[in-house]
């Protein structure tokens, strides 16, 4: 049996036997989510929790001062930043900002793959968020959707790749065959992503995104976060074979007033602004 087939067999067996090691949420994300679920928490307490992690604190400040929130007055401290973002949004925002901690490895080969994966994930997220900003400016749109949930959905959409790369690390010959690795990812990453989000306690809709974003057979009747993740994936090159189909669906659901807006300076500026938050 080839190394490639052996890896695929091992992955399938471990998935079926529920023995594959799944990534866990970064510790600071767990703390923030636990605090956010506490009905007695207030902005001061939340600021104290976030303040335990200097890197997250800096990014919370950055996002509070970004065009992402559409504000012009700068915040000067963490308390002001948390106040601006708000308790309802901080749970998803802090989790999203902590995601990068998962895309690292001491193994240089795996680390390179993870670095490229994170860059692509940020591109998908930036495009999805820029499209969402255009969508929300239109009248009579779905006001039940919010930017912080979309951000987290986009950043975890391909999370199922992580355990595949971890397992492949034990079979390093596989990395000499990127084509096979991509096949393994295409076959298994969606299923694994859904399993990971379920283990993290994320909602069903977000798990469905990770499992189905590549497959156009799965559609939602109304405009959903999945639509924005898919168009973000198309614009970043993560989905190329179904580009026209995805953009057609985007038009049918009236997510964009005109596809020409994707070439506008406003769209590009919005997309690039988001990228600076995560890079």
Q: Provide the CATH number for the domain around residue 206.
A: 1.10.3210.10
Is 52 a member of any domain?
no
3-state SS assignment for residue 77: coil
Percent of the chain past pLDDT 90, that is, above it, reads: 56
Is 30 a member of any domain?
no
- Please check whether residue 80 is in contact with residue 64, taking contact to mean a CB–CB distance below 8 angstroms: yes
Tokens of 208: 């469905």
Is 45 a member of any domain?
no
Would you say residue 70 has pLDDT above 90? no
pLDDT of residue 246: 94
Give the C-alpha distances (Å, rounded to integers) separating 145 from 68, 136, 182, 200, 221: 15, 9, 32, 21, 14
pLDDT of residue 201: 92
Would you say residue 177 has pLDDT above 80? no
- Please check whether residue 105 is in contact with residue 44, taking contact to mean a CB–CB distance below 8 angstroms: no
Q: Where does the pLDDT of residue 186 fall: very low under 50, low under 70, confident under 90, or very high at 90 and above?
A: confident
Q: Between 54-64 and 78-85, two packed helices, what is the crossing angle to 10 degrees?
A: 60
Is 17 a member of any domain?
yes
Would you say residue 242 has pLDDT above 90? no
* Euclidean distance between CA atoms 229 and 236, whole angstroms: 10
pLDDT of residue 255: 92
pLDDT of residue 71: 61
Would you say residue 200 has pLDDT above 70? yes
Would you say residue 237 has pLDDT above 60? yes
Is 81 a member of any domain?
no
pTM for this one?
A: 0.90
Would you say residue 244 has pLDDT above 60? yes
Q: Where does the pLDDT of residue 1 fall: very low under 50, low under 70, confident under 90, or very high at 90 and above?
A: very low
Would you say residue 48 has pLDDT above 90? yes
pLDDT of residue 4: 56
pLDDT of residue 229: 98
Q: Which domain holds residue 212?
A: 3-23+102-278
Q: Where does the pLDDT of residue 167 fall: very low under 50, low under 70, confident under 90, or very high at 90 and above?
A: confident
Is 261 a member of any domain?
yes
* Euclidean distance between CA atoms 180 and 4, whole angstroms: 7
Percent of the chain past pLDDT 70, that is, above it, reads: 95
Return mean pLDDT, the chain: 89
pLDDT of residue 143: 73
pLDDT of residue 72: 65
Highest mean pLDDT out of 13-22, 109-118, 131-140: 109-118
Is 173 a member of any domain?
yes
How many independent structural domains does the chain possess?
1
Give the C-alpha distances (Å, rounded to integers) separating 194 from 160, 205, 250: 7, 10, 24
Q: What is the mean pLDDT of residues 45-49?
A: 94
Is 32 a member of any domain?
no
Q: What is the mean pLDDT of residues 9-29?
A: 88
């Amino acid at each position: 049996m080839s190394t490639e087939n052996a890896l695929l067999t091992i992955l399938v067996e471990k998935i079926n036997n529920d023995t594959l090691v799944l990534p866990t949420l970064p510790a600071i994300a767990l703390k923030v989510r636990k605090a956010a679920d506490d009905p007695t928490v207030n902005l001061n307490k939340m600021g104290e929790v976030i303040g335990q992690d200097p890197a997250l604190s800096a990014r919370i400040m950055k996002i509070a001062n970004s065009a992402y929130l559409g504000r012009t007055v700068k915040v000067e401290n963490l308390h002001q930043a948390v106040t601006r973002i708000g308790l309802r949004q901080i749970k998803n925002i802090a989790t999203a900002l902590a995601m990068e901690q998962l895309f690292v490895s001491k193994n240089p080969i795996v680390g390179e793959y993870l670095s490229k994966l994170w860059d692509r994930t940020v591109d998908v997220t930036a495009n999805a968020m820029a499209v969402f900003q255009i969508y929300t400016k239109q009248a009579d749109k779905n006001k039940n959707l919010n930017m912080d949930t979309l951000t987290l959905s986009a950043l975890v959409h391909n999370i199922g790749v992580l355990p595949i790369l971890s397992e492949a690390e034990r079979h390093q010959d596989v990395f000499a065959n990127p084509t096979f690795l991509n096949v393994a990812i295409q076959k298994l990453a969606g299923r694994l992503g859904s399993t990971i989000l379920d283990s993290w306690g994320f909602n069903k809709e977000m798990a469905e995104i990770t499992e189905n974003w590549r497959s156009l057979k799965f559609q939602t009747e109304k405009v959903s976060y999945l639509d924005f993740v898919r168009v973000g994936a198309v614009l970043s090159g993560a989905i190329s074979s179904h580009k026209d189909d995805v953009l057609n669906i985007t038009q049918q659901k009236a997510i964009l007033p005109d596809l020409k807006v994707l070439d506008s300076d406003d769209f590009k500026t919005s997309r690039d602004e988001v990228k600076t938050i995560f890079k």
